[in-house]
Every structure is written in C-alpha cells, then in structure tokens.
Amino acid sequence: SVHCPSVVVHAGAPWSAANRATSSPRASGTAVCAITRRSATATATVDTGGVVTGVAVGSATITATFGGVMASATVTVTPARLVSIEIAPSSPTVAVGRTTTLTATGTYTDGSLRNVSDQAGWTSSVPPVADVGAGGVVTGVAVGSTMISAAVGTVRATVTLNVTAAELVSLV
C-alpha cells in the first residue's frame, strides 16, 4: 500500500511531498504526491518534484502513486504566517520632548508585506530615555540611547533609538 500523509501548509509556504509518501512493503523508488482535485480557486499546487505550495486558504486532495497503487490525503492551507518584522527607520533619532513614529512591516510566508504597527506590542528597554506607545509613537524623555522593540506574537524586531538634546523650535 501507499500512504500520503495529510498536511497543513501556510499560504505561500512549500512542503515537500517527495520522500514523505511511503510504501509498504518497502520498495525502491519514490512515491510522489500530486493534486487530483481542488476547489474552484486553486488551493495548492504540486510541482514535478512533489513540492506542495499553498496558494489560497482551503483544502485540496493529493494522491500518491507508486507501482500502480494510489493513496489520498488532504492538504489544508491556512492563512499566511508572519515570519519577520522590520522597523523603519532603522536608525531613528528623536529630540527630548519631541515625538516620532516608527513603522513595523511584517513579512509573511506568502511573501506579502503588511504594516503591523498597530498590532505590535511596542517596548523601550530604557523608559527613562524614551517612551513608546501604541502604533510605534516614540517620545524622547532624556538624552541617551534605548532599544525599541515591536513584537507580534513571538516575532520581534528591535532598533536602537538615539535621543538628542531638546531642539530650539522658536524665539519669542
């Protein structure tokens, strides 16, 4: 018999079906899974090497054929997963008493980029130097440096923020 395991992949993330399909009793060769049925919109693709890539959220049935014997399994494609965050600007500076806004951009398994500034939890490693609030709004408190981090779940990015002396903004 041939067994092609059910899998869960994130949209845009590849999973190799080659060498994961197994035969019993063991025989030489590789059983390769292939998409045999899908919904009206493409849910997943399988290349000639047996790599399954999630295209859209949903499910598809894959089959493995080995020595004339076939087996089926379901591939479930879940929403794209956040894999990294980048904070801009990468070397921010703010004067004491002034504010600046940092932007957190997330990269997802499907290659898309999304602004995650409002979803991120923001922290300052030295709050007496700079305070950071929702949406990445940073206020300079005292001259110095601090690490500003943005985190969404377990994905985190950090930049060093320099706080400079207060600026002269007007003369009366």
- Decide which of 167 and 59 is more confident: 59
Widest Cα–Cα separation across the chain:
90
CA distances for 68 relative to 18, 31, 122, angstroms: 17, 10, 57
Whole-number pLDDT of residue 12: 58
For the chain, the first-to-last Cα distance in angstroms comes to 88
Whole-number pLDDT of residue 5: 57
- Decide which of 128 and 64 is more confident: 128
At residue 160, does pLDDT exceed 70? Answer: yes
At residue 22, does pLDDT exceed 60? Answer: no
Output helix, strand, coil percentages for the chain, rounded to the nearest 5: 0, 60, 40
User: pLDDT digits over 135-152, tens only?
Assistant: 999 999 999 999 999 999
Q: Cα(42)–Cα(57) distance, rounded to whole angstroms?
A: 9
Whole-number pLDDT of residue 48: 66
The residue with tokens 């049935």 is 61
With contact defined as beta carbons under 8 Å apart, do 10 and 51 qualify? no
Handedness of CA 14, 16, 20, 23 (dihedral sign): positive
Whole-number pLDDT of residue 119: 97
Question: 0.75 cut: is pTM over it?
Answer: no
On the question of a cis peptide bond just before residue 89, with omega within 30 degrees of 0, the verdict is: yes
